[in-house]
Amino acid sequence: MKFEAIAVENIPLIHAGDNLPSIICENIELQDRDIVIIASTVVAKAEGEIFRLEDITPGKISLEIAARTGRDARFIEAVLSRSGEVLVEKPFMLVTTLSGHTCVNAGIDESNIENGFLLYPPENPDASASRLGQELERLSGKKLSVIITDTNGRAFKIGQTGVAIGIYKIKPVKRWIGEKDLFGRDLEITEEAIADELAGAANLLMGEGAGGIPVVVIRGLDYYCDEETYIKEMYRPEELDIIKKGLRCLQKKS
């Protein structure tokens, strides 16, 4: 049993309106059950999710947060426009986005774009994954899954890993239910976060900075799922999220 992770080389710099599925298919021959893993930065660029800082007018709340944190109020306004809740203001803004993902700066990035521009993540990553996946399947004639990924930090540890933010034809979590353990006892329900593990695996080839590879294909696994799948199944229900409760407790104190 094995799998391969293959970097799709020669993807050009992507601009608004570019046909990503077409570009991908020109650079790799896809096979049934391939998992096509695409960095959210190129999805966002193709979707034209680029905004100029100077076009953003900060509202009252953004100005207040800016005063407290010393951050650019326009950048804060951008973050708030994609956020449901602010969990931490400083030293970094940790938010839960409108699509349910908890991450720094709502995933908005200014490091890979000409000065003064912000790159927002895809507004609906599942919808983007679905659109890309359907076109990839049409062009290649193969059964494919798609995962759109970002890189995020994590609790308790330094460093970032690749994470899944949108999916198509793959479950975010694999449930190992009702199997026996090595001694024949019922295994408790174990949920394996396969979409995030795949995102992390792909990120080992994606790299950072100028050498970035924005598309990786993982081949040899059997996770294809021919039904609608939703990344939000992976987000912990609020009432069970003890870490969010802890962060809110800290905010009340300060």
Q: Can you say which residues are annotated as belonging to the binding site for GTP?
A: 11-14, 40-41, 45, 112, 206-213
> At its nearest, how many Å lie between a second copy and the CB of residue 59?
26
By CB under 8 A, name the one of 52, 68, 138, 236 that touches a second copy: 236
C-alpha–C-alpha distance, residues 67 and 143, integer Å: 51
> Going by C-beta distance under 8 Å and a sequence separation of 6 or more, which residues neighbour residue 222?
33
Instruction: Please choose, out of 19-27, 50-58, 131-139, 186-194, the segment that lies near a second copy by the rule CB under 8 A.
Output: 186-194
User: Looking at beta carbons only, is 58 or 164 nearer to a second copy?
Assistant: 164
Neighbours of 200 (CB within 10 A): 17
208 near a second copy, rule: CB under 8 A: yes
Annotated binding site for a divalent metal cation: 109, 150-151, 208
C-alpha–C-alpha distance, residues 227 and 208, integer Å: 33
Annotated binding site: 11-14, 40-41, 45, 109, 112, 150-151, 206-213
Looking up tokens 């774009």 gives 113
Angle at 229 between CA 179 and CA 44, to 5 degrees: 135
- Side-chain half-sphere exposure of 167, counting CA atoms within 13 A: 25
- Side-chain half-sphere exposure of 135, counting CA atoms within 13 A: 13
What residues numbered 51-90 form the site for a second copy, per CB under 8 A?
A: 88
User: Looking at beta carbons only, is 46 or 234 nearer to a second copy?
Assistant: 234
By CB under 8 A, name the one of 53, 135, 139, 212 that touches a second copy: 212
